[in-house]
A and B are shown apart, each in its own frame.
Chain A
Amino acid sequence: MVLQVGETEVTERAMYERKERTEDGDEDGGHRRRRSTIGTKDGPPNILITAHPSSTSSTSFLSSQNYNTPSPASLPPLSPVPPSPMDPEKDSPYFSSYSRTASPPPPPRRGSSTPGLSPNEAPSSTNSSSFFAGYTAPSRKFLGKHLRKLSTTLPSYIAPSPTTSAASSAPGTPYYDSKRHDSYLPSHPSRLRRITTHRRFRPLALLTTLLLAFYLFCFPPLLHLYRRTPWLGGGHKFVIILAANKEGGVMAWKGAKEWAAERESIANKRHYANKWGYHLEIRDVRARKRYAHEWREGWEKVDVLKEVMRKYPGAEWFWWLDLHTYIMEHSLSLQSHIFNNLEHVTYRDINLYNPLNISHPLTPAEYPYLTPEEYSAVGDGKAESINIVVPQDCGGFNLGSFFVRRSEWTTRLLDIWWDPVLYEQRHMQWEHKEQDALEHLYTTHPWIRPHTAFIPQRMINAFPPGACSESPNDPRIFYNKDEHDFLVNMAGCEWGRDCWGEMYGYKVLAREMNRGVLERWWRRWSGEGKK
């Protein structure tokens, strides 16, 4: 009950101070009072448990009270997003805006007030003195309750008449200068107004308004509808599968950077999918007991693909994306980028880029029993026979970003992809699990080759510098800003590199490269963004 005593003492002290302030017309004090009253009425009587009895400062009392109110707005401030310590890019203009030191935390949010409003803004609904039943201030009773409230509602933009301005020249309301606002009253209609209201131009004005309204309110949803309809834009024929929550913090603690990178990656895919009307399927690929055995690791990918294919029966192409990928060019649709001319964008003959040295095509000397299509280096060469589109990096197939098409063939591939007998014999060698398994199938099963196509890596899976350290100068592998590569895959960033730093860097870079005309003009004009 000591606390109880302390509470009453502090309350009385605060009330006393407040009373003094209001009488002085102290604006700051008025503000604090408004904030402090939140929850006092509804909260339990002992909500001030942290208020020390010896506290004399009303500020500390107020803050402690606020932290104990159940209002969601009074939560402690969020910690700032950690900075990107990307040293090599520090000189580049894209990364310069982000300093190495952590920015100071934002001012804690208290109550629902916004700091920095004009003092004339009134408390919305609270009336301070009514909350303190035992307290009465005889001299301010009426004015404190009503007059102040009346005089301080929303700021009025109507120029006051000379009489009102004279009346309001009392201290406390010096905010409207009647002389300045006189020009608001137009002596004659403006030129624009005369034109738009002219009889001859009236239909034109109406039409313009209607068109503008259509563009603003009807065009975006109609465009979205068009883009996603399978037989128009075809967006719903594509599903983007994003493998989020990788390992779920089981193998390593998921800190602020990991959360931030995940959030950024999801937001990126979501924006892209929304823009073009694709389905986005975010799958949780945390470490599970089911896949924990050494033979089954990495097997989740195929299971997820099977499930998603079942979930979207109308979709045709499924795009697997690892978490640490970033779509750089949102203005490119998958259709225009790849699928409208699939047979030209992809290559079937692996000899064009063959880091694994797979012998291709199959020869009659080794396989004397195949069909001409299976002996051919390019299958039948038609886009319709492509069922899987895989990029290759310096180490072979890369399944961080690849496409599969719904078909009988794909069902069979997904079924045979993981076989316990194969895994039992190879799980020590197959370091990249499902990737190695696919390479094995591609190499030894002739039925797979005529339906597999490869895509140049930078089309869907460009690497940042740091990945593929075996061949650091290969122009086919690494992201090229000047050629506006579509996607960056920060492959392997979780092993010794900074995923969040890289992702943030590419985010800034993508924004920088895809500024609109107006924004670019504004930046040039205002001198912003210059060193």
Chain B
Amino acid sequence: MHFALPNKDHRSSPLRATSAVSQMSRTYLRNILRRPVGVLIGVVVLLFLYLGLSSSGGEVKYGNPPAVLVTVIDRANYSEDYLNRVIADRKDYAKRHGYSVFIKDVSDYKTDSPYTLWAALPTLRHAMTTYPTGKFFWYLEQNAIIMNPSLSIEEHIMDPARLSKLAMRNQAVVPSSGIIKTFRNVNTKTVGLVMSMDEAGIAPSSMVIRNGAFAKYLLDAWYDPLIRNYWNWQRDKLAASLEHLVQWHPTILANYILIPQRILNSYPTTANGEGTYQDGDMVVSFKGCEAKDSGRNCEAEFNKYWEQKKQSSS
């Protein structure tokens, strides 16, 4: 029979007290709970879920040590005194926060090019092998000094909340071309590579890498012999090759955060003043002092800050 309006029991009727679905599910649940078999099945399902979830999480727990300080020194070209001070500086910092220090010489890894900075990459990889449960690996160049040792890596830089405040989003990776920009949303809890940018572009002289599969992938790709021996890098090879990788490979860009320079890589002076060291900054890096034609002396610059740090701490 067809009526003009649905009767009040019809599921479309507004006069019905409860919806058929909720009523049905309620009785259904009640029936299930009344029966022991239903309960048993539920328990078994939960157990399986629990086992499945717990077994899938069988990965390495990182965090011991919380961070490893990685530096590559060049014994052939620098005085023993200077290098000892550099090492003492690193060790002092690591001791304060319970970190480890991993220091190697450039000659420890045979590289087929005279460019010594490539040694940073196998050293980082080696540090990860030596400390497989280390969480963060901070690479700091030899010609740099930690001016504010009270700042820790996991709070000052890598804390997710802090990192999402610091991150420079939608920032051109290569400022001069500006086609590829950093992502707006990078997961700060899993980000693999954090570094800063100076006036010339990205600056790998001080960078933090999170241990894990991504780090191995990044370091191996960066250290590819064809990348290393490419003839056409336009500037500092380590930086230029990373610029290239970041621009061409979204899996790297998606794990990449740029932060302001003064957070971990201040310079004594910069042209625009943005990266110039101010009291309280974590690091001073004497980038470019090693060049023969720069007229600078790395050891002298380092010693100046070394004395300044000594005075302020005493």
| Chain A contacts to B: CB under 8 angstroms | 367-371, 408-409, 411-412, 415-416, 419-422, 424-426, 440, 444-448
Most B CB contacts (10 A, CB to CB) among A408, A415, A425, A440 go to: A415
Known: A369-B109, A369-B126, A369-B129. A422 touches B217 (CB 8 A): no
Contact B220 A421 (CB under 8 A): no
Contact A425 B129 (CB under 8 A): no
Residues of B within 8 A of A440 (CB): 226
B48 at interface (Cβ–Cβ under 8 A)?
no
Chain B, residue nearest A371 (CB): B129
Residues of A within 8 A of B217 (CB): 412, 416, 447
Known: A369-B126, A411-B251. A421 touches B230 (CB 8 A): yes
A513 to chain B, nearest CB (A): 42
A447-B224 Cα distance, complex, nearest whole Å? 12
Chain A, residue nearest B249 (CB): A415
CB-defined A-B contacts under 8 Å, sample of 21: A367-B122, A368-B126, A369-B123, A369-B125, A369-B129, A370-B129, A408-B213, A411-B251, A415-B250, A415-B251, A416-B217, A416-B249, A419-B221, A419-B249, A421-B227, A421-B241, A425-B229, A440-B226, A444-B224, A445-B224, A447-B217
A446-B108 Cα distance, complex, nearest whole Å? 19
**Mask of B86-127 contacts with A, CB within 8 angstroms, 1/0:** 000000000000000000000011000000000000110110
Q: Does more than half of chain A's interface fall in helix, strand or loop, or is it mixed?
A: helix
Contact A445 B122 (CB under 8 A): no
Contact A447 B126 (CB under 8 A): no
Residues of A within 8 A of B129 (CB): 369-371
Counting contact residues on chain B (CB < 8 A from A), the size range is 20 to 34
B225 at interface (Cβ–Cβ under 8 A)?
yes
Q: Restricting to B220-246, which residues have a CB under 8 Å from any CB of A?
A: 220-221, 224-227, 229-230, 241, 244-245
Instruction: Out of B126, B230, B241, B245, name the residue touching A425 (CB < 8 Å).
Output: B230
Contact A420 B226 (CB under 8 A): no
A347-B129 Cα distance, complex, nearest whole Å? 25
Residues of A within 8 A of B132 (CB): 371
A421-B227 Cα distance, complex, nearest whole Å? 7
Contact B216 A446 (CB under 8 A): yes
Chain B, residue nearest A413 (CB): B217
Known: A415-B250, A425-B226. A445 touches B220 (CB 8 A): yes
Contact A409 B248 (CB under 8 A): no
Instruction: Out of A416, A420, A444, A447, name the residue touching B216 (CB < 8 Å).
Output: A447
Known: A369-B109, A369-B125, A421-B226. A446 touches B220 (CB 8 A): yes
Residues of A within 8 A of B244 (CB): 421
A367-B111 Cα distance, complex, nearest whole Å? 11
Residues of A within 8 A of B248 (CB): 419-420
Chain B, residue nearest A445 (CB): B220
Contact A447 B251 (CB under 8 A): no
Residues of B within 8 A of A426 (CB): 226
Chain B, residue nearest A416 (CB): B221
Q: Does more than half of chain B's interface fall in helix, strand or loop, or is it mixed?
A: helix
Known: A412-B251, A416-B249, A422-B226. A447 touches B213 (CB 8 A): yes
**Mask of B243-282 contacts with A, CB within 8 angstroms, 1/0:** 0110011111000000000000000000000000000000
A92-B15 Cα distance, complex, nearest whole Å? 81
A440-B217 Cα distance, complex, nearest whole Å? 15
A409-B212 Cα distance, complex, nearest whole Å? 12
Residues of B within 8 A of A444 (CB): 220, 224-226
A370 to chain B, nearest CB (A): 6
Most A CB contacts (10 A, CB to CB) among B224, B227, B244 go to: B224
Most A CB contacts (10 A, CB to CB) among B122, B125, B225, B229 go to: B125
Q: Restricting to B131-155, which residues have a CB under 8 Å from any CB of A?
A: 132
Chain A, residue nearest B229 (CB): A425
A408-B59 Cα distance, complex, nearest whole Å? 14
Contact A370 B226 (CB under 8 A): no
Residues of B within 8 A of A448 (CB): 220
Chain A, residue nearest B215 (CB): A447
A445-B224 Cα distance, complex, nearest whole Å? 7
Q: Restricting to B199-218, which residues have a CB under 8 Å from any CB of A?
A: 213-214, 216-217
Instruction: Out of A409, A412, A420, A422, name the residue touching B224 (CB < 8 Å).
Output: A422
Residues of B within 8 A of A370 (CB): 125, 129
Residues of B within 8 A of A371 (CB): 128-129, 132
Residues of A within 8 A of B250 (CB): 415
Residues of B within 8 A of A412 (CB): 214, 217, 251
A162-B124 Cα distance, complex, nearest whole Å? 105
A420-B227 Cα distance, complex, nearest whole Å? 10
Other A-B pairs beyond A368-B108, A421-B244, 13, CB < 8 Å: A369-B109, A370-B129, A371-B129, A371-B132, A412-B214, A419-B227, A419-B249, A421-B241, A424-B230, A425-B226, A440-B226, A446-B220, A448-B220
Residues of A within 8 A of B224 (CB): 422, 444-445
Ordered nearest first, which 10 A-B pairs have the shortest CB separation?
A369-B126, A445-B220, A415-B251, A447-B216, A369-B125, A447-B220, A369-B122, A422-B226, A415-B249, A412-B217
A172 to chain B, nearest CB (A): 58
Chain B, residue nearest A372 (CB): B129
Chain B, residue nearest A425 (CB): B226
Most A CB contacts (10 A, CB to CB) among B221, B225, B227 go to: B221
A189-B251 Cα distance, complex, nearest whole Å? 79
A419-B132 Cα distance, complex, nearest whole Å? 29
Residues of B within 8 A of A368 (CB): 108-109, 122, 126
Chain B, residue nearest A417 (CB): B249
Residues of A within 8 A of B226 (CB): 421-422, 425-426, 440, 444
Contact B213 A409 (CB under 8 A): yes
A305 to chain B, nearest CB (A): 14
A128 to chain B, nearest CB (A): 51
Contact A445 B109 (CB under 8 A): no
B269 to chain A, nearest CB (A): 33
Residues of A within 8 A of B122 (CB): 367-369
Residues of B within 8 A of A415 (CB): 249-252
Most A CB contacts (10 A, CB to CB) among B216, B230, B241 go to: B216
Residues of A within 8 A of B123 (CB): 369
Residues of A within 8 A of B216 (CB): 446-447
Contact B249 A422 (CB under 8 A): no
Residues of A within 8 A of B128 (CB): 371
A57-B250 Cα distance, complex, nearest whole Å? 75
Residues of B within 8 A of A421 (CB): 226-227, 230, 241, 244
Most B CB contacts (10 A, CB to CB) among A369, A370, A421 go to: A369
A421-B125 Cα distance, complex, nearest whole Å? 23
Residues of A within 8 A of B227 (CB): 419, 421-422
**Mask of B281-293 contacts with A, CB within 8 angstroms, 1/0:** 0000000000000
A432-B310 Cα distance, complex, nearest whole Å? 61
B197 to chain A, nearest CB (A): 21
A413 to chain B, nearest CB (A): 9
A408-B221 Cα distance, complex, nearest whole Å? 15
A408-B216 Cα distance, complex, nearest whole Å? 13
Residues of A within 8 A of B230 (CB): 421, 424-425
A422-B228 Cα distance, complex, nearest whole Å? 10
A370-B250 Cα distance, complex, nearest whole Å? 25
Residues of A within 8 A of B126 (CB): 368-369
A409-B251 Cα distance, complex, nearest whole Å? 10
A365 to chain B, nearest CB (A): 10
